[in-house]
Structure 1
Amino acid sequence: MDFGHSLLYSFIGMFVAMDIIGVLPMYLGMTVGLEAKRRRRLVNLSVMVAAGVAFAFAMLGHWIFKLLGIAIYDFKVGGGIVLLVMAILDLIKGRGDKEHSASTGVVPLGVPLITGPGLIATVMLQVGIYGNIIVILSMLGNFLFAWAALRKSALITRFIGVEGTDIVSKIAALLMTAIAFAMIRTGLFEAIRAAK
């Protein structure tokens, strides 16, 4: 397979694993009531953290997991539990009661929503298939796209209005619970298969 095709397949695989379009409603819900400057800072921080984590796992993931004695399915279950707890808190308290801080850019937006177990597994597998250069280029392209999509999400907020963003925030919290359960379920099934 030539360089161009390898790069394309790598990019598409990461794009599907990241699912930044699916993250947008959750990001809108998390940033209800935030001024534009803080929203931009949150996007910058979340994408930088997500990219840093993905890059670290692409280069060192196999050694990190081996050193800690964990598998991808362990990471899926753990990440899913963290996401589930945060989603339930958002449903109970509501976004308006939530204190927005820099940590929101780290958890859950940067990790595990943008860079979750699926993307981590994808980049670790792709390094073995395509090599470091192609994987790094694919990551750069995907994270630039994610950054641009999140930065332009303010247009959506203006379009749907305040009540619309409140509705989106509740739907986003429900979606987060579904994603969390899916992560936990697949992690548990993979663990059961590995134990046989």
Structure 2
Amino acid sequence: MLPLWLWSSVVAATVPVSPATPDIRVTRATQLFDQLCLKAFPSDAALDDAAKSMGAIALTPDQVKVTLVNDPGRGWALGENGTTYLIFLELPPFHACSVRWSMPEGEIDLGEYRALIENEKTARAGFTTIHEFDRDAGDIHIHAVGEQRILPEGGSEALLLFDQRVIDPARRARGETATNWRFVRQFAGPGAP
């Protein structure tokens, strides 16, 4: 889990989030995922240029380490409309691009994201649904869904959606009730870019 100091928009869980209306934060995260992770990535240089052209600020190696732990990579922060979006480039052995942000706990409308993924699946055939991931890791509950396809040269490409939240009652009582969201495009294995 990313520390709260990286997010400028942690809001109390009492703020209602309507699943019937697209939220500007989800809309913007979907746009960033499209521009950065689907169009610029898997070129590291193109992703770097795109993030910089949007005004994203490079994270320090220590800030990147908080999220990627011992995995190699880089990251950027982009603040817009009271929300901080974190963009991460994970370097091989897993080559991945992700857009991460935090929202109040509750249902959200992911229609725009799902439409984007459906377009990707149509444009690049072979994606199949992966098994849903649901697990607790210490004080955090992690949930993920997604699609994956096997690449002709070996390896795979995955489009993943993660949500995670604090489940420890003491931490929740202190206000750590936001949901952390993550859109990911990941390549793995032989021949992966």
Q: Same fold (TM over 0.5)?
A: no
Structure with greater strand percent: 2
TM-score, with length taken from structure 1 = 0.30
Higher RCO (CA 8 Å, separation ≥ 6 residues): 1
Structure with greater proportional helix content: 1
